[in-house]
Structures are given as C-alpha cells and as structure tokens.
C-alpha cells in the first residue's frame, strides 16, 4: 500500500508498505536510506501516522517496529484492502541483460 515515511530530521519519502502486521511493517523505496535505530512515522494512505523504530534495512527496504501495536482487526483490514496493490514479488530483469557467469 502507498505510504509516506517521515524521519526525525523532517525528511519525507514516498514508500510502499510491502508487509504489515500488528507489530510492524516492511517498507520499500528506491531512495530509502534508513539505519537501524532511526525513529520514523509511517503514514499509510488515508490513515494516521504510525510511529516506530527501524529494526533492519537493506536492498531499498526497511523493517519498522511500531511503538504501539495495531489492533489485529486493523492489520487484517489493511491486508484485505490492499491485497492486489502489488504482486507478492516484483520480478525485475531488463530485457537483453544476462546474468554474470561465476
């Protein structure tokens, strides 16, 4: 689902929430540059911001642990509402590019 991520520094980045549970979420962005321990506010489209802390990051993704867990029914509703926003994995291989030999 589309969202915005605001860092304590005030920098705001458009992100995609790829996975969400009551305890946290996984966000993705091409320009994402977050370090573990960074406090952020993730604001899904049409919702209030969810405060949390970055627990891991890498490969244009980051895992956020929420300060206050979501009610399980809210997390389930978000899953149902955005189940078809993106396929489970977005394969990317430009045409004409071949993998490197070992």
The pairing of beta strand 12-20 with beta strand 50-58? unpaired
Residue 101 lies in a domain: no
SS3 79: helix
Q: What pLDDT sits at residue 45?
A: 84
Q: What pLDDT sits at residue 4?
A: 94
Domain that holds residue 61: 2-81
Q: What pLDDT sits at residue 83?
A: 64
From residue 30, alpha-carbon distances to 81, 88, 101 in Å are 24, 17, 27
Tens-place pLDDT, residues 16-27: 998 888 999 999
Tell me the C-alpha distance between 25 and 35, whole Å.
15
- Percent residues over pLDDT 70 in the chain: 80
Number of compact structural domains in the chain? 1
Q: What pLDDT sits at residue 10?
A: 86
Long-range contacts of 52-56 (CB under 8 A, 24+ apart): 52/24, 52/25, 55/24
Residue 84 predicted with pLDDT over 70 = no
Residue 86 lies in a domain: no
Residue 102 predicted with pLDDT over 80 = no
Residue 87 lies in a domain: no
More confident residue, 93 or 56: 56
- The stretches of 1-102 forming alpha helices (DSSP H) are 72-81
- 27, 12 contact by CB (below 8 A): no
pTM of the prediction?
0.75
SS3 14: strand
């Amino acid at each position: 689902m589309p969202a915005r991520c605001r860092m304590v520094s005030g920098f705001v980045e458009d992100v995609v929430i790829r996975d969400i549970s009551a305890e946290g979420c996984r966000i993705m962005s091409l320009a994402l540059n977050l370090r573990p321990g960074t406090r952020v506010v993730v604001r899904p489209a049409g919702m209030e911001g969810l405060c949390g802390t970055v627990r891991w990051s890498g490969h244009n993704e980051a895992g956020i642990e929420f300060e206050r867990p979501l009610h399980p029914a809210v997390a389930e509703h978000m899953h149902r509402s955005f189940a078809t926003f993106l396929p489970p994995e977005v394969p990317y291989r430009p045409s004409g590019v071949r993998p490197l030999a070992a």
